[in-house]
Structures are given as structure tokens and as C-alpha cells.
Structure 1
Amino acid sequence: MVDLRNLRYFVLFDNNLTGQLPKGLYNISSIEEIDVGNNRLNGSFPSDIGLTLPRLSFLRVSNNSFSGLIPPSLSNASTLEEIYFHSNNFTGPIPKDLGRLPQLQVLFFAQNQLQDDLSFIDSLVNCSRLQDIAFGGNFLTGSIPRSLANLSTELSSIDLSENQLSGAIPIGIQHLTGLERMYLYQNFLSGPIQDINFTRLPRLQRLNIGNNHLTGSIPTSIGNLDMLSLVAMNYNNLSGGIPPSLGRCPSLLYLDLSHNNLSGTIAKEVFSQGSPLVVLVLLSNRLTGSLPPEVGLLRNLGALYVSDNKLVGLIPDSIARCIVMEELNLSGNYFAGEIPNALSSLRGLRILDISSNNFSGEIPDFLSSASGLTLLNLSANQLQGEVPRDGVFLNASAVSVFGNSDLCGGISELKLPPCLNSKKKENNLHLEKVF
């Protein structure tokens, strides 16, 4: 028999283990680390685990099928530094006195079935070394307490997303000067956000507050964040214009302001020289004016969505310089003119949707020769002439051309009338005259 009385590390991370942990494990008081994450284990934990394992500093049981309550006695294991309980089936409340763990740095309870409010945060104020907290994907209710602003200045990540939280985002959150990631998306948060001074969060890299009921304007102070790479404020009730200051974020890769009540023109400053922006989503707002020619300055832009606004004018020829563009959606606006040849420079384009606009003229040949095009929507415009029978136009499920009353030809599945004077017939007539 192996003597386990002095066992310090029990590490079985990332295997394919099933069943339950041996009950005797919780009686080995010398254990400092338990790591059984990324398996297929189940069962629950004894209520006194924090008393029987007083030396425990690392506890990871994430990505399994554990259930039951999170033992309140964990607060008695005063040497605990990292707790990972996320991605399981735990139920019930969150222990209220985890602030008794002076060494606590990481607390991950996300993606479970926990039902509670956020009153436990009051206790966490005592954890001066706290760096990461994650409670997203549960059934947490109530408002975000003001005590959140008093958490450790070493805190780098907050995840309260995918819950049922309500009320305002505390303005005091700006006091968490070490914050790098803030995830509050998919709740019922409300109230304005323009009073939050994001300049006081110089390390912020990822900000996702989408899918809420937030109001007011977008704070211009966001433009002062040099490390910011992701901003998602989609599906809210934000109003006002798009702050030109966003163009000053030198690290911004992803910007989603869709499904709000934003108005005014798209400031040319958003398309700043040298911007690394890869994804820009502005769809479903009330934006007016034209698409600024400065869009061509975004050499790394891979996806542009400005559909369902009130934009007018021509597609600027400068868009040809966005040579890595893969997805372009301009639908539901008032763009006009012919489909520009500038789009032929977008060799990697996979999705092109310019439906529900005022485009006119013939379908350009370059669309049928675009080998990577997998979805093309030209419907509800004023296009005319013969629909090609090459490339993407051979796949009726990948092409939509309805609502253009002067189009003809194409494959039979498109159900268009035949062309009376197709290019093919014109060539035949010319040959007959020669011979």
C-alpha cells in the first residue's frame, strides 16, 4: 500500500477521467494542490473541505460535471490562492465570506447554475491580492454593488456576463486602475455610461458591455486608451454620435456599436491612418451621410458592417485599398450608383451584401470571377441586364437577386425571365452577318 498521508499535490488535469473523486482524498490534510480540471468527473464536494484541507492553496475542478453546493467552508482554508470551479453544474449561493482568504488571487465560478445576488463582493474587498474574478453564465440577480469599486487595485479581470443583473454600472468602477478586461454583457443593466472616465483605466484591453439596456452617449474618454483592443457596446440604447476619439486607439482591433440609436455621420477620424482595426460593426443605427473615403486607410479591415442605417451616396473607390476585406455588408441604406469596380480589388471577399439600396446598372463581370465569394446578395436594388452564369451565380442558394425588376437570364433556379437580347444572341447575330 502506498502511504498518502504526506501527499501534497494531486494533479490529474486534462485526462478523460470519469466517475467521482475518492472520498479519502479530503482527509489528507497535507494536500496543497488539487487539480482535476478538464475531465468528465462528477459528484459533489463535502461541506467541510475547507476544514479538512487547511493547507490547500490551489483548487481546480473546472470543466467537469460536478454538482451540488460550493462549500462555504472554503473560507477556512486560509492559504487558498486560486479557485477554479467554472464550467460545472454547481447550484445554490456563492459563499459570503470568501474575503477571509487573504492570499486569494483567482476566483472562477463562471458557467454554472448558481443563484444569488452580488452581496458576496462586499467580503472580497478584504482580498488585497485579488486579480481575476469570473461569475458569468449563472443566474445572478440584483444590482452591481458599489463595493466593486473597492476591490483590489491589482484586479485585472471582471466577468459578470450572461446573468440577470440590473441597475447601473457603478461609476466607481473607474477606480480599478489595474483592470484589463471587463465583461458585463448580456444582462439587464441600464442607465448612462458617459460619466465613467475610462482615462483612469489605462490598462483596459477588452470592454464588452453589449446586450444590456444602457443609455446615454459613448464616453469620449475611451479614445485615451492605448491598449484597448476590443470594444463591444452592441444591443443597447446608446444615442448621440460615434466619438471621433475612437480613432485614437492605436491597438483597437474590434469595434461593435451595432443595434443602438446612434445618429449623425460616421466621423472620418474613426478611420485613422495606421489603425489596426480588423472588424467594424455599425449596423442597425440611425447613421446618416456617406461612407467616408478614409475607409481606405484601414488596410487591415477584414469585416465591415454598416447595414440598416440611413447612409447615402456612392461606395468610395478608396475601399479598393482594403485588400484583406472578407465580409462587406452595406444593405438597408440609400447607397446609389453602379457597383464600383473598386470592389474587384477585394480578392479575398467571401460575403458581399448590398441589398435594399439604390444601386443601378449591370452586374459587373468581376463578381462572377471572384473565386472566393460564397454569399452574394444584390436583391432589392435597381440593377438591370443579364445575370451571369459563372462562379457564385451557379449556386442559387448563395446568390439573391430578387427585387430587381430589370434583371433577366441566369440559371433557372433564380426564376428570372429570359433575356430578349442576351450577349450570346448578339454574338450569334454578328457571326451570321459576317458569313
Structure 2
Amino acid sequence: MDPFEMETLFKVMDMVSSDKNWRLTYPSPCKSPWIGLECKQGKDNHLHVSRLDFGSPPNPTCKQTSTFPSLVFDLPYLQSLFFLHCFTNTKTTISLPFTISSASSLQQLSLRSNPSLIGQIPPQVSSLNSLQILTLSQNKLSGKIPVQIFTLSSLIHLDLSYNLFTGSVPNQVGMLRNLVGLDLSYNSLTGMIPPTIGQLGLLQKLDLSSNQLTGPVPDTVEALNSLVFVALSNNRLQGQFPKGVSKLHNLQYFLMDDNPMSIPLPYEFGRLLRLQELRLANSGYSGTIPQSFAQLQNLTTLSLQNNRLSGPIPPGLSTLSHLYHLNLSKNMLSGVVPFNAEFCRRLGRNLDLNDNLGLCLDGSEALEGVKIGVDVCGSNNNSRSSTAGSVINPLKKSEAHHHHYQFGLSTLLLSFIVLIINILSTWAVL
């Protein structure tokens, strides 16, 4: 490590951390055991700082007056930089030098959970042209997402979640052809999801939840055949789903609760055979639950509560052996619940059929101790019987035998009483 690099490192440590006197404790940082710092050998056969971790023990903690150290970009061999819960008291911004030629080696920049980190992302971020991972989540960054970010062609993961960003998702997002993960959730983004999102052919995770996005899901998403996880919940999305959504054969998680969709539930979801979680609650879906959903043999969670779904529950849902969470409450479903006692006990409290006025249970199935929010068909306390197509509770074999036995005893007793009355009448005449 040359003298300039070492002096820069000590200045950064003095700005950020007050754990110890770094100059005295570690006069040769790369040769001493220093948690939070990594060094690698460069082409000049000397050790250089390649990674710095701040804010999370056992790494160096940050002092209360710490601010973002722009000097850190003067470390020419730095590849990874982490600040976790570091800027918590003194307001600070991300400041980058206008020229960062020496920082081209930086591959990972992570600033997470810094409540005093405010302001906008500076456009100079485009100078970090080797950047592969940019994580700026859980801060108080604001303004529009700068289009300069989308010139970082090496980006694999971009996380700007849990901030105060406004404006739309830039059309330039489609330029990040190497992107595997995109998380813009929990901001105040508006406008439509840009169709250019379909150009991210390697994308596996897409999270745009908890914004104010409008319009439909663009048809171009059908090209994202690497997608594993999609979260679009808590927006203002509406309109028809792309018919090509069934082409997302690798999709395992689709979360889209709390959107004013108000359309029939798409049967195409039943073709996503790797799907493990499907959450479409509180979105005004109408019509019946598609029979195709019974093909989702890997499904563990199905949440369809608080919609306007009607008709019967598809019997095929009872064959989903991996299902452990099923919520169909607050709909207009009707008919006999097609689940046996074993299915109901397996799900337990994770099965919720409450507030479906037309649903009822077949009384022949022993469901003692299992509460799923539905009465037995034809029971006196079942006000739904007229709309549920209720049936008379069939008796179990043991109950039927007991009932027949009781009926036989009653008939015999009545015959005996009649005989006694006749004998007494005869005596009276005599």
C-alpha cells in the first residue's frame, strides 16, 4: 500500500469511526488483523484495500457525527464498500467526486438502513462503471431515480427499496441487460410499468410493490422467462393480465395483493406449474376460482381473500399436498366445501373460509375441533342454507344404527302400552 492510499484510508476512518485510534492501532492495515477491512494483492505485487465494512459489529461502528466520506472513492483498488446503520444522527448525502477514474474497480456499493442519509442519488454514479451490485435500501433518499444509473451496464442487482423516490420508473431500465434483481419497492413511484422491462432477459427478481404505479402489467413481461419472484402488491394497477403470463415457466412467487384489478381471475396462473405462492387478495377479482389452479402441485400459499369470487371451491385444491396456507375468506363462494378432515387439520389455522355466505360443510365428514369459519349444511344456525344448495346431514353408520335402535324401542314400548290399555278396558266391562 503506497503512502497516499494509506493516508486516504486513515482519513476515511477518522471521518466515520471512533472505535479506536486507527493510525496507532493499525500502522500497517493490510498486515494487521483488522475486522472490516480486506486487502488483495495487486498487479504491482503489493497489498491494497479491496473491501471496507462499517456499522455492523464486529466491523467498525460509526460515530454519531459520521457523514458520508467521499474520500473513500480515492482508494484505487477498492472493490466493495458497505455502510450498514452508519449515518443515524447527522444528516448527510451521497457525495461523489466529479471525476472518479480511480474508482473504476468498485464492484459493490451498499448503503443500508441509514436514517440520516438524505438527498438524491448524484448523476456521477454513472462513473462507477464496474459496479455490479448497487444497494441503497432503507434510507431517506428522495427525488427521481437518475437515468444515469441505467448506463451501468455491468449491474447485476439494483435495490433502491424503502426510500422516498418519486417520479416514474425510467424507460431506460431496459438498458440493464445483465440485471438479475430489481427492487424499487416501498417508494412513491407513479406512472406505468415501462414496457422496456421486457428487455431484462436475465431478470429473476422483480419487486415494484408498495408504490403508486398505475395501468396494466405490460405484455412484454412474457419475455422474462427467467423470472422466479414477482411482487407488485399495494399499487394502483388494473386492466387485463398479459395472455403470455403462462410463459413464465420458472415463476415460483407471484404477489399482487391490493390492486384495483376488478377482472375475472386469470386461469393462466394454473399453467405456472412451479408456482409456490400466489397472492391476489383485496383486488376485486370476480368470477369463479379456475379449475386450472388444481394443477399447481407445488403451491404452498394461495391467498384470494376479500375479492368478489363466486361459485364452488374447485375440488382439485384438496389434492395440493404442499399447500399449507389457504385463505378464501370474504368472497361470495357457495356450495359444499370439498376438503376432508385430514386436509383441514393439516392446514389448521392457516385455512380461512370465513364470510362466504353460500359455503357449507358436508356433515358426514368428522370435523370435530376444526374451525374453518363454515357451518354444516342444513344446520339450524346456518343462515346460508337457501343459497348454498344445502343438503340434509347424512348420519354416520354408528349414528344411523343407534337411531334405528332407538326407533325400534319406541315402537315396541308403544305397542305394549296399547295392549295394557286394552286389558284394563276389558276388566272394566266385566
TM class, shorter-length:
0.7 to 0.9
- The count of residues paired between Structure 1 and Structure 2 equals 348
Equivalences for 1:399-418 in 2 at 5 Å? 399-409=351-361, 411=367, 412-418=370-376
Are residues 1:330 and 2:245 paired? Answer: no
Aligned residue in 2 for 1:353: 303
Aligned residue in 1 for 2:207: 256
Contact kept? 1:326, 1:350, Cα under 8 Å = yes
Q: Deviations over 1:50-100 (max 9, x none)?
A: 56x4373464425xxxxxxxxxxx9xxxxx836xxxxxxxxxxxxxxxxxx
Q: Which one-letter code corresponds to 1:120 in the other structure?
A: P
Are residues 1:240 and 2:191 paired? Answer: yes
Equivalences for 1:25-424 in 2 at 5 Å? 47-49=22-24, 53-54=27-28, 56-57=30-31, 59-61=33-35, 81=39, 103-112=48-57, 113-114=61-62, 115-121=64-70, 123-140=71-88, 141-147=91-97, 150=100, 152-164=103-115, 165-193=117-145, 195-272=146-223, 275-390=225-340, 391-394=342-345, 395-409=347-361, 411=367, 412-420=370-378, 421-422=390-391
Contact kept? 1:392, 1:398, Cα under 8 Å = no
Residues 1:145 and 1:131: Cα distance change in structure 2 (over 3 Å)? same
Contact kept? 1:132, 1:158, Cα under 8 Å = yes
Contact kept? 2:257, 2:280, Cα under 8 Å = yes
Find the aligned partners of 2:20 and 2:68 in 1 and give their Cα distance: 23
Residues 1:423 and 1:247: Cα distance change in structure 2 (over 3 Å)? farther
Aligned-pair CA distance for 1:120: 1.9
Contact kept? 2:125, 2:148, Cα under 8 Å = no
Structure exhibiting the larger radius of gyration computed from Cα positions: 2
Q: Deviations over 1:294-343 (max 9, x none)?
A: 21010000000111001132233322321100000011112111110111
Q: Which one-letter code corresponds to 2:371 in the other structure?
A: E
Residues 1:200 and 1:58: Cα distance change in structure 2 (over 3 Å)? farther
Find the aligned partners of 2:265 and 2:80 in 1 and give their Cα distance: 45
Aligned-pair CA distance for 1:369: 1.9
Aligned residue in 1 for 2:414: none
Q: Deviations over 1:204-243 (max 9, x none)?
A: 0011110011111111212121210111111100001111
Contact kept? 1:327, 1:352, Cα under 8 Å = yes
Which ranges in structure 1 are unaligned for 5 or more consecutive residues?
Answer: 1-43, 63-73, 75-79, 83-100, 429-435
Contact kept? 1:192, 1:215, Cα under 8 Å = yes
Aligned residue in 2 for 1:432: none
Contact kept? 1:332, 1:357, Cα under 8 Å = yes
SS at match of 1:368: helix
Residues 1:47 and 1:370: Cα distance change in structure 2 (over 3 Å)? closer
Find the aligned partners of 1:244 and 1:58 in 2 and give their Cα distance: 52
Find the aligned partners of 1:179 and 1:423 in 2 and give their Cα distance: 69
Find the aligned partners of 2:169 and 2:32 in 1 and give their Cα distance: 40
Find the aligned partners of 1:290 and 1:187 in 2 and give their Cα distance: 35
Find the aligned partners of 2:32 and 2:392 in 1 and give their Cα distance: 74
RMSD: 2.7
Find the aligned partners of 2:153 and 2:184 in 1 and give their Cα distance: 19
Q: Which one-letter code corresponds to 2:67 in the other structure?
A: L
Find the aligned partners of 2:135 and 2:315 in 1 and give their Cα distance: 45
Contact kept? 2:73, 2:96, Cα under 8 Å = no
Find the aligned partners of 1:158 and 1:58 in 2 and give their Cα distance: 24
Find the aligned partners of 1:317 and 1:360 in 2 and give their Cα distance: 15
Find the aligned partners of 2:375 and 2:54 in 1 and give their Cα distance: 60
Q: Which one-letter code corresponds to 1:105 in the other structure?
A: S
If each structure's strand is expressed as a fraction of its own residues, which one has the higher value?
Answer: 1
Aligned-pair CA distance for 1:45: 5.3
Aligned-pair CA distance for 1:265: 0.8
Find the aligned partners of 1:257 and 1:314 in 2 and give their Cα distance: 23
Aligned residue in 2 for 1:11: none
Which ranges in structure 2 are unaligned for 5 or more consecutive residues?
Answer: 1-18, 41-45, 379-389, 398-430
Q: Which one-letter code corresponds to 2:72 in the other structure?
A: L
Find the aligned partners of 2:396 and 2:240 in 1 and give their Cα distance: 40
TM-score normalised over the length of structure 2? 0.75
Aligned-pair CA distance for 1:161: 0.9
Identity %: 29
TM-score normalised over the length of structure 1? 0.74
SS at match of 1:204: coil
Q: Which one-letter code corresponds to 2:279 in the other structure?
A: N
Aligned-pair CA distance for 1:289: 0.7
